[in-house]
Structure 1
């Protein structure tokens, strides 16, 4: 398993992250098997959020950790906060909500400290000074080791950094061979085409310049949770390429699709959300090889994208 470094420290995180959003209906024993399978494959990073399963996902992993405390030191456990689901869904980065959320996360997980905490979807009403106070408190009390964001653009991060003193080490961003809006607009900058109209935000380039880890989510999905593209007849040409490359590298089409994400030359991690141990083992194969530049572009074009 390939690894990346966080904050230029000697902290090694697996290039594959096991996302636990969908474990709410599993038993603690089934989740324990998932964790053991991941660790055996070299995956040491596990991603959660306080809203996953209404907190149930954290509760189940917490039961596992309570029964198997020996697993904790082998795991990098990350969660997210900031999304509130009440009469409707909204976002809240207030100091009070962040601190309350972390206390709830730690209680559900039966642990004393989160390895990393990410601010979930951007809060347009965020006040950097409040967030800074929350982060300072969480760091001083030892409840959180590292901090980051999810789905934030460069100016949002820069605004946070006007007050937050801790490094924002991670940004979770949606990316797959069939979801590439940032790349699309980047390729068509300064051109008379619709793809160039909105212009790129430079999220990926910003992360590289600031040495932030990019955690790609929905790496096998197309659109916004519209389904998996691997084996999907809607993406016939893409699957032909994935199948051919899978045969060449002696792996699976899914592993090729994940390797496409990891080929981007940044501090990359790919989040997988499977609840099946065999799929974890297949995903881990994506770090056994590196796609060539030509193969990366071939996959990009096979997904229906265009280059100038």
Structure 2
């Protein structure tokens, strides 16, 4: 498994993480198989959130992991908080602290390696968040911190009040969600791709050594479905298959390799609970697409160059 540096640190993390959003749909033994498949493929980074499965995903993970032979210190375990489903976003100190205690209890852990704030809260008080982070770190409950779906100004605002460096920003990025790179290639144009909807965060991340975590790497839309083997995307699947045949892998590996080819050292979140899918996707970390192959896929996905 390809390894990358985490944020501004010298710590090494895998270029892929296992997202456990769907672990609530699995039994404990099935969850163990998925975790082991990821671990054996070099994916020793877990990404969760307190809302996944209404907390059930973390409960299943906790039960599964506690019975496995993998040592806690061999895993990097991350969770997210800040969404109160159907009601509000909540970055209050009280909510953050209470959520972390509940996460640790569900996952049967003494600490989280990373806590990520899950989508921006319009009522965020950066100084209040800073108090929560300081308290969590001082108590040994959280080692590192990050955010999810923050634009550059939101990220800089929060960072200005923190004593810790933010390590991560989770952003949607895939062959069918390319806004973060479209506008750069369409600079000085007046067409639709020239619109910057992501406040140049990818460039900011590279300048300030922030690790971008790409979610939904095989999805189109937000959660409409996968573009892999989807009849609605014949040209893209034809190109994926062509390269899959060349590199002797499956299409998931090629779609993953496309993300990891970007020089920003992006970490990709694999959300599957299918052990074979996990193993197949992990193979993408061993492939370095040529520049032409990368652009061929970009164009086959329905993008165009000015």
Shift of 1:69: 6.5
Q: CA distance change for structure 1 residues 298 and 16 in 2, over 3 Å: closer, same or farther?
A: same
> Partners of 1:195 and 1:10 in 2: how far apart?
35
Given that 1:46 and 1:78 are in contact with CA atoms closer than 8 Å, whether structure 2 keeps it comes out as yes
Shift of 1:8: 4.3
In the alignment, what sits opposite 1:194?
A: 192
Q: CA distance change for structure 1 residues 200 and 19 in 2, over 3 Å: closer, same or farther?
A: closer
Given that 1:23 and 1:57 are in contact with CA atoms closer than 8 Å, whether structure 2 keeps it comes out as yes
Q: CA distance change for structure 1 residues 62 and 263 in 2, over 3 Å: closer, same or farther?
A: same
Shift of 1:64: 1.7
Question: What CA deviation, in whole Å up to 9, does each residue of 1:194-249 have, x standing for no partner?
Answer: 33245651011111111111110100001111111011111111111100011111
Question: What CA deviation, in whole Å up to 9, does each residue of 1:178-208 have, x standing for no partner?
Answer: 1112222222222122332456510111111
Shift of 1:116: 0.5
Number of residue pairs the alignment of both structures matches? 306
One of 176, 180, 183 as aligned partner of 2:181:
183
In the alignment, what sits opposite 1:306?
A: 304
In the alignment, what sits opposite 1:245?
A: 243
In the alignment, what sits opposite 1:96?
A: 94
In the alignment, what sits opposite 2:34?
A: 34
Question: What CA deviation, in whole Å up to 9, does each residue of 1:17-67 have, x standing for no partner?
Answer: 110000102111111111111111111101000000000001111112332
Question: What CA deviation, in whole Å up to 9, does each residue of 1:70-129 have, x standing for no partner?
Answer: 4422211000000002xx232010111000110000011111100000001101110000
Q: CA distance change for structure 1 residues 109 and 69 in 2, over 3 Å: closer, same or farther?
A: farther
In the alignment, what sits opposite 1:4?
A: 4
Q: Normalization by structure 1: what TM-score? A: 0.96
Secondary structure at the counterpart of residue 267 of structure 1: coil
> Partners of 1:181 and 1:194 in 2: how far apart?
10
In the alignment, what sits opposite 1:283?
A: 281
Alignment of 1:142-221 (within 5 A): 142-197=140-195, 201-221=199-219
Q: Normalization by structure 2: what TM-score? A: 0.97
> Partners of 2:102 and 2:190 in 1: how far apart?
50
Structure 1: unaligned runs, 5 residues or longer: none
In the alignment, what sits opposite 2:68?
A: 68
- After TM superposition, which residue ranges in structure 1, 4 or more long, deviate above 4 angstroms? 197-200
Shift of 1:271: 0.7
Given that 1:173 and 1:216 are in contact with CA atoms closer than 8 Å, whether structure 2 keeps it comes out as yes
Structure 2: unaligned runs, 5 residues or longer: none
